[in-house]
Amino acid sequence: MDTHSEHLRINPARFQANFDALSEIGATDDGGIHRPTFSEAHLAARAWFRDLIRESGLEFRVDEAGNHSAYLPCGPEDGPTLLLGSHLDSVPYGGRFDGALGVLSALEVLVVVKEAGISLPINLEAIDFTDEEGTHIGLLGSSALAGKLSHSDLEHPRGGKVAFIEGLNRAGLTKDGLLNAARHQGSLAGFVEVHIEQGMRLIDANAEIGVVTSIVGIGSSILTFIGRSDHAGTTSMEDRLDAAQGASAFILVIRDILHESFPHCVANVGKIDLMPGAFNIVPAEAILRLEYRAPEAHTLRILGQALLEGARFEANRFGLGLEVEDLGEYPPSLMHDEVRSAITNAADTLSLNHIPLTSMAGHDAQSLAGLCPVGMIFVPSVDGASHSPREFTTWENCIHGANTLLQTALRLAINIDQVG
């Protein structure tokens, strides 16, 4: 890598001005933002991004999944594209950094390369993916781009079909278009995303950069503990088959299972329904929504089995039946070695402390993992806060993240030249 490229840095003042302007769109009184996918604020943010792309002298592109991009033809005319970016949508009443930081870091990289007048063996694209957060369908834009979206995926949007179709209409998109947005294998040289960590590990390690090794795998199931409804007053404590007690015992056991055997994993029961559901009836059924996450496929599988064993054991202990509806798994996604070493190398060049870590949250990079080499750069989240107005990353660390992305992109471009 020539010394000129190695000394390139992003423009902090411009980067911050863009970030502050974007943070105004959908701003809430408590310092957060509210930009659910296809809401007025979300579409306004996308329109703002489009205008900024044009003002920056970059080419604006939008695909049939509504993914918005800045494109810089700094490479051969039909050469591969190195994709950088994240998302401009937010969870309801979320923070300013989640997604927005990655999109604006990517845009800044393109502007810096354009200003430097460098030609590379690849072209550059800064992308804002549609509905990463799953207001309607999680990772929608990146799944569509990766060709992983199917008709059935569009059948059960989280907010209901009517809201989804209305949203698509507002954004000028169609279901057929979503299914036609796939890019060709080979058209992408890679994908790199800057994102806030959303946890405490970087702060605890006193590191400025997280080099993501994998994105966690997620399994989920619905567990129904089956007892017997009875009069809550006249049935003795010994005689009742109380589904709520067995289910509660299981929830407490989850903590022990994870603590003893799965130190790098998490599990959660996020919803409980008791049936019939009255003060004076012993619950006949307790229906639990269980989700668990692990960094490797093998661990995810045995964690799922261990949780199920725990549920069976507790159901037996309380004389209950157990029904299990397996909702399937999202496998973990490994980040590409070459991208990881480019990020590590970039952080070293910038004299930044870095550590490898697993992403415990899902991200667009997992959609693209089968399509091209992918990698992620994490920056520290103060107090680990995220999906909240409390979300905060120091401005210094935002700049470190963007500079690491710039130096990573340049290193990947040059490696591709050497390989090609």
In the complex, the residues that contact Zn ion under the rule CB under 5 A are 98-99
Q: How far is the CB of 350 from Zn ion (least distance, A)?
A: 23
H or E stretch at 23: helix 12-23
Q: C-beta of 406: minimal distance to Zn ion in Å?
A: 20
d(CA 33, CA 386): 12
Alpha carbons within 13 A on the beta-carbon side of 271:
9
Q: How far is the CB of 364 from Zn ion (least distance, A)?
A: 8
The CA distances from residue 160 to 85, 134, 237, 275, in Å, are 28, 12, 42, 25
Element (H, E) at 18: helix 12-23
Could you tell me which residues come within 8 angstroms of residue 392 by beta carbon, excluding any fewer than 6 positions away? Answer: 95, 97, 381, 382, 383, 385
| DSSP percent split of the chain into helix, strand, coil, nearest 5 | 40, 25, 40
For Zn ion, the closer of residues 99 and 217 by Cβ is: 99
Planar angle of CA 194, 414, 378, nearest 5 degrees = 15
Closer residue to Zn ion, CB minimum distance, 99 or 373: 99
Nearer to Zn ion, 99 or 283 (CB): 99
Report the nearest approach of Zn ion to the CB of residue 98 (Å): 4
The rounded Cα 401 to chain-centroid distance in angstroms is: 17
**Core vs surface per residue 89-108: b (16+ CB within 10 A) or e:** bbbebbbbbbbbbbbbbbbb
* C-beta of 69 vs 90, nearer to Zn ion: 90
- For the bound state, the minimum distance from the C-beta of residue 132 to Zn ion, rounded and expressed in Å, comes to 6
CB of 408 to Zn ion, least distance (A): 18
Smallest distance from the beta carbon of 133 to Zn ion, in angstroms? 7
CA–CA separation, 396 vs 49, rounded Å?
23
- Neighbour count for residue 59 (Cβ, 10 Å): 14
Q: Which one, 221 or 386, has the nearer CB to Zn ion?
A: 386
Residue 394 Cβ vs Zn ion, minimum distance, rounded to whole Å: 18
**198/224 with CB nearer Zn ion:** 198
Reduced to 3 states, what is the DSSP secondary structure of residue 269? strand
> What is the full DSSP assignment across 158-179?
TT-HHHHHHHHHHHT--HHHHT
